[in-house]
Structure 1
Amino acid sequence: MKMTASGGPWRKSSFSAQTDNCVEFRRIEGGVEVRNSKRPDEASVTYTDSEWRAFIAGVKAGEFDV
């Protein structure tokens, strides 16, 4: 895990709009930073652009459906 000093505004899924129990993400130089919305002051996880694109492609392909 890596803390990042600055980035764009934090965003969360529109599916999570009614609750504080979600993850948030923001663009940073060279990738995307993800954090727990319930613990915004704790460590975040940083993904490279290629890792993030692979994750989004997997979501769209249904790889994470339960």
Structure 2
Amino acid sequence: MAAHTWQKSSFSGDAANCVYVEAAPDGVIKIRESEEPDTIVTTTPNRLRALLLGVKAGEFDHLAR
């Protein structure tokens, strides 16, 4: 089994407040957070791209207030 290569968001801050992303060899994008490292959300590159475009456009700003 291959080791995970998680990338931590530079905006996450300290070790208790981290979001990690990994591009798996099979093309699946995996997302997890430091509080629940065994809970992994999977998605596709196209779906992640749509989410990121929405985040950049401010569509989800109301959730972070």
- Asked whether the two chains share a fold, i.e. TM above 0.5, the reply is yes
**What TM-score, normalized by structure 2, do the two folds share?**
0.72
Q: 1:12 aligns with which of 8, 11, 22?
A: 8
Q: Which has the higher strand share?
A: 1
- Select the structure with the greater relative contact order (CA < 8 A; seq sep ≥ 6): 1
Instruction: List, as ranges, runs of 4+ consecutive aligned residues in structure 1 with deviation greater than 3 Å.
Output: 5-8
Please, which runs of 5 or more residues in structure 2 have no aligned partner?
A: none
**What TM-score, normalized by structure 1, do the two folds share?**
0.71
Deviation string 1:21-57 (CA, Å, 9 cap, x unpaired) is 23211111223101121222x2311001111110111
Please, which runs of 5 or more residues in structure 1 have no aligned partner?
A: none
Whether the 8 Å CA contact 2:32–2:40 is kept in 1: the answer is: yes
**Percent of aligned pairs with the same residue?**
43
